[in-house]
Amino acid sequence: MARELIFTAEDVANTRFALSPLWEVIASVRVVKNPAGHPLLRPWADQVARRLRDVDWRLLHDLIPVPTRAIPAFVCPPPSTPVPDLDVELVTLRAQAAHVREELDDPHTKPLRALCDDPEAGLDRLAGEIGAYWAAAVDPYWPRIRSLLEGDVLYRARQLAEHGLRHTLAELDPGVRWAGETLILPSRYASGVRPLRGLGLLLVPSVFTWPCIFSGTAPPWQPTVRYPPRGLATLWERRESEPPEALAAVLGRTRARLLAELDQPASTRDLALRTGLTEPGANRHLTALRRAGLCSAHRTGRYVLYARTAVAEALLR
């Protein structure tokens, strides 16, 4: 099965990227409920299972079925800004009371029936459960996850600049392909042709979406594709990147180590945690490397990501 998205020139112009902490919560519920089906994410699922025993997330649990044929659109409205906070997304979630009954046609559990009986109170409860779930299961890992997601957006932006939108979208998943002006997305449970209505496509990298992509085209939201980011297999690894000895002798071990750690773009905070440096100390070394042309800095929302330049890549080889 496949979903076909028809592009116009206006849709190309309005295509954008964003992160979504809310979607990471929603998608991660699938992993907690079926860790055996997500081997790359199993280390995370094993770590958080104990923490979630003390969290009441029954309504959230019932809204996300496994296997996941569909997720109600009101549960995860697409983000309106590139890097929203969870609290901002929960405000949008609480405003979806008008859509609850039309999207939940079979409330088969007590929490779901209560949600349909009083959508406003139910969404308040859902927002509270999501906040508690986030604090226990996602927030402790968010700096690492966010760095991976922002690094993927930076990579895709470079692809877009160098190769264009057609190539960039085709690289999201092995099953994605083009037929003329139509983007064809693999789908297990949905099919059909969908115009993008001039809104463009919202691209959301998501750790917990793995191993497939999710697409949503329900009005009035911007059509959205959530896809796994590059480098996901290394997310839970505890590794220490050792630079070549010759490079360390020239740059100093600390700066050479920072370059070695930049196999994916990363923030100052993330690099400080990995290397044991303070954030001001890491920032001083990164500033020196940037002035020497060995790394570049890219702002994404409130954060700055550092990436190796071609010169640094050559030195590390």
In this prediction, residue 270 carries a pLDDT of 82
CATH number at residue 248: 1.10.10.10
Neighbour-count burial of 151, counting CB atoms closer than 10 A to its CB (0-12 exposed, 13-18 middle, 19+ buried): buried
- 65 part of a folded domain: yes
Range of the domain at 117: 2-227
In this prediction, residue 240 carries a pLDDT of 56
Q: Say which residue the tokens 């290394």 belong to.
A: 234
Are 192 and 47 in the same domain?
A: yes
Are 39 and 111 in the same domain?
A: yes
Are 149 and 102 in the same domain?
A: yes
Provide the domain count of the chain. 2
Domain end, chosen from 176, 193, 227, is at 227
In this prediction, residue 237 carries a pLDDT of 65
- 192 part of a folded domain: yes
- 233 part of a folded domain: no
Find, among 76, 54, 82, the residue nearest to 302 by Cα. Answer: 82
- 193 part of a folded domain: yes
Are 192 and 293 in the same domain?
A: no
In this prediction, residue 302 carries a pLDDT of 66
- 246: its two tokens: 């010759």
Domain end, chosen from 198, 227, 256, is at 227
In this prediction, residue 1 carries a pLDDT of 76
Are 22 and 163 in the same domain?
A: yes
Are 152 and 261 in the same domain?
A: no
Q: List per-residue pLDDT tens for the chain, 317 residues long.
A: 789 999 999 999 999 999 999 999 999 999 999 999 999 999 999 999 999 999 999 999 999 988 888 889 999 999 989 889 999 999 999 999 999 999 987 788 999 999 999 999 999 999 999 999 999 999 988 888 988 898 899 889 889 999 999 999 999 999 999 999 999 999 877 788 999 999 999 999 999 999 999 999 888 899 999 999 998 887 876 555 677 888 888 899 999 999 988 877 788 888 888 888 999 999 999 999 999 999 888 876 667 888 888 888 888 87
Are 255 and 306 in the same domain?
A: yes
Are 11 and 83 in the same domain?
A: yes
Q: In this structure, how many other beta carbons lie within 10 angstroms of the beta carbon of residue 310?
A: 9
Q: For the chain, how big is the Rg over CA atoms in Å?
A: 21
- 232 part of a folded domain: no
